[in-house]
Amino acid sequence: MTEAEAPAIELVGLGKSYAGRPALVEATLTVGRGEIFGYIGPNGAGKTTTIKILAGLLKPTSGDARILGRSVRENPLDVKARVGYVPESGAVFEKFSPAEYLTLIARLYGIPAASIDERRNRWLEAFGLSGDRDRPMTSLSKGTRQKVCWISALMHDPDVLVLDEPLNSLDVEAVRLAKDLMARFASEGRTVFYSSHLIEIVEKLCTKVALVQRGRILASGTVDEVRTRFNAPSLERVLLDLGHEATPA
Amino acid sequence: MSGDGDASRDASRQEAGRVDWAQLRPLLSLTLAQQYRRGISPLTGAMHHPLRQIVLSFGFLGCFSCINLTRVPDAATFYNLVFAGAFALVLAGISPDAADSRQRSGDVLGSRPISGATTQAARFVTFAVMGILLSVPLALPGLVGAWLYFRVPTQVALLQLVMLLVQAVVAGMLWVQFFAIAVRWISIESLRRASQVLTVALLLAISLGSSGLVSPLLARTHVLGMPARAAGREILDALPSTSFAQFFLAGTESLANAHRVGVLALMALTLVLPWIGSLERRNQRLVDAIQISMERVSARPVHVRASLRVKLLRATSWMLAPPSAAVAETVLVHAERDDLTRVRSIAQGAMAIVFFLIGLGPNRQGLALFALAYMSFAALVESLDGVRRSPGWTAGWIFFTCPLKPRHLVTGMQVAIGMRSLLLPAALTIALLFWWAPPAVAMVATCAYLIGLRLASAACMVLRPGMPLATGERAFPEVAGLGLAVVLGLASSVSLRMMQFVVVKLGAVGLLMSMGGVVVLVLATVLAENLAATRLGSLEHAA
């Protein structure tokens, strides 16, 4: 399969254990290009572990994950160059100003010096942070720092966005902007892999979803397919039933 | 708005002038436990034992300063020195908390119905305790030393201890009054930084004064036409601490009585000042200022600035691969904006200059070389820890998700360490090598020294790998780091001296042998850096 034909994301028997305790077991999944893919499940299901493997923060214990045909094991740098990651924590180095931080991130991604200022300022403007660009991030709100995380994921123009609860702490305007961005991103043939507990947003926004529980992927497909499979009226009901050990029909 | 809030505010205003003794006790327990109990440092993210650290570090300095027993003519002069050191340490050591600690205190205490007078009383007790904790470990070894060496009567020795405690309380309380007045014109952050620099300067002065290294310098120097030593004695006699030291010692002459009156006046001032109208209001304002200063900071449009080191790095970054330069700059900017590391680097710089000056004199090359080499490696170990550790280490995820070659990370961290801590000791060591040895030998020795530093940094990364700013724990325990620095400092200073010896004895052959040693060092460095890169590449983000 050539790179152009490869799916955006492929999990192939992916596994991860922490000190012998399995957090992800034999996860197999394919995410096509141009999709907004929802990755949902209860707390401790293995969502963040999967996302961290895709972003390069964790190494798989078994199996592999491929992004645009490239293995996270064999070509980690290639993969990282194509992925934009927004963490759940929204943690940034607070001693920097947004402008400084984003400039350094751009340099870490190897963005040409000539285009760094233009890209940075464009995104700061888009997220309404132009007025805060030179203030230390210690004096900015958590939501503002989360916006900086978003920009740091977008600066290098990635092909795949990997988002872990990316709407945490964002205000209404920023949530709207983030949703628009995801939709636009997908419409350009790029892919969003999105983990969240905000099920209403997942249902409205995602073209496909996967349901994960106790480290295993229970089902994947369109929202309707997953609902039908669990014989539930909504994804929320599916997740609530999972708490009571529901199984696919 | 509801009237209940206004009513409760009025009630608290009515109560503002009264100390609530029931609240004072838990408030003190909370404050003192927060300051001195063992726990995770909010500044460094590492486990620390504040009380043990204070007792051990100042106690060690106090023991070291007992050397002065043999240098002074009598017990009275020695007591003057000990009391002066303790007095100055209280003044320098008592400073407002860091902004984030103040924020936390504000969050915890600001929302409680605690009157200003209660908060103020708690603050006075806290400062008095702090004064005693700083004074006693420093001065106690000296007091015991004087009792034994000068055969001071036990009763007098015990009274001196009492006076030391009184001095600590008086100095601490008066210093708070100074803060109360100064905070009107100077920001709390500036006062805090000035206190930190003063503490470092004072500790350096006590260390150097006790080491005897500055004695020859003092003997040759004149201040306002007076020999420096005599001028120092005059200044010492004029300090308030001398009045405390002489309170139970002097006879009945007028000078002795003047000392006693001085002490009593200071004690009265300590008791009265806080309750004088204007100062009382200022004390209340100080409490408020300490609690709300974070809000001021966030309300003011503060703009970040690049330090001189960062500017220097930017100017020379063309020599590095762009990702390495970016890693180095991220780490360096982060470190440069950390108060604690800034003060440490000032202290290290001052010590390095002193040893360099000592090394310029005759027959002190070995000592100076060892000291500078030790300081280089100590700075390297400390700095290596600093480039990997951060209170906000969860933000270190960015180094894992960026497409960075591990080799670039290693180089970036090495450059950050060099720019942050090694510029001055390295420049002084190299200058000293060229001062003492012929140019060819100095050149080879310089190469060996610089490559040795690089090798040591890579080897430390192999032993304890860590991504930049991505861990909350120390890579090396303090004692292990100190031991490592001593061993490396000793090894490198001995090697440099041996190199000099071999070249002097064997001429060109010796020089070739030394160059061969440098080549071996280069090969070892390349190997260590590759190993370090491999180990970095296998790391995962723990958060």
DSSP B67-126: GGGGTSSSHHHHHHHHHHHHHHHHHHH--PPPHHHHHHHHHHHTTS---HHHHHHHHHHH
**Cβ partners under 8 Å of residue B349, min gap 6:** B424
pLDDT of residue B422: 87
Q: Which of A190-194, B172-176, B525-529 has the lowest mean pLDDT?
A: B172-176
Question: What does the pLDDT average to over B38-50?
Answer: 59
**Residues of A whose CB is below 8 A from B397:** 55, 57, 85, 87, 89, 91
Alpha-carbon gap, residue B535 to B459, rounded angstroms:
11
The verdict on a CB contact (< 8 Å) between B395 and A94 is: yes
pTM exceeds cut of 0.90: no
Alpha-carbon gap, residue A55 to A88, rounded angstroms:
12
pLDDT of residue B276: 65
Q: Which residue segments constitute the domains of chain A, with CATH numbers given?
A: 9-90+159-242 (3.40.50.300)
Q: Average per-residue pLDDT in chain A?
A: 90
CB pairs under 8 A between A and B: 99
DSSP label of B420: I
Question: What does the pLDDT average to over A179-192?
Answer: 93
pLDDT band at A82 (very low <50, low <70, confident <90, very high): very high
The verdict on a CB contact (< 8 Å) between B401 and A105 is: no
Question: What does the pLDDT average to over B380-385?
Answer: 83
Share of chain B above pLDDT 90, in %: 14
Tell me the ipTM for this assembly: 0.89
pLDDT of residue B277: 56
pLDDT band at B302 (very low <50, low <70, confident <90, very high): very low
Q: Which of residues B199 and A67 earns the better pLDDT score? A: A67
Q: Which of residues B435 and B95 earns the better pLDDT score? A: B435
pLDDT band at B97 (very low <50, low <70, confident <90, very high): low
Q: Which of B169-183, B370-384, B428-442 has the lowest mean pLDDT?
A: B169-183
The verdict on a CB contact (< 8 Å) between A95 and B301 is: no
**Max mean pLDDT range (B74-78, B248-252, B473-477, B488-492):** B74-78
pLDDT band at B289 (very low <50, low <70, confident <90, very high): low
**Residues of B whose CB is below 8 A from A91:** 392, 394-395, 397, 543
Alpha-carbon gap, residue B131 to B165, rounded angstroms:
8
pLDDT of residue B2: 39
* Polymer length of chain A: 249
C-alpha dihedral over B479, B483, B489, B492, to 10 degrees? Answer: -140
The verdict on a CB contact (< 8 Å) between B323 and A110 is: yes
Q: Average per-residue pLDDT in chain B?
A: 78
**Max mean pLDDT range (A222-231, B296-305, B363-372, B401-410):** B401-410
**Residues of A whose CB is below 8 A from B390:** 93
Q: What is the distance between the terminal CA atoms of chain B, rounded to a whole angstrom? A: 44
- Residue A247 pLDDT exceeds 70: no
The verdict on a CB contact (< 8 Å) between A59 and B538 is: yes
- Pairing verdict, β A191-195 and A36-40: parallel
DSSP count for chain A of H helices, then E strands: 9, 10
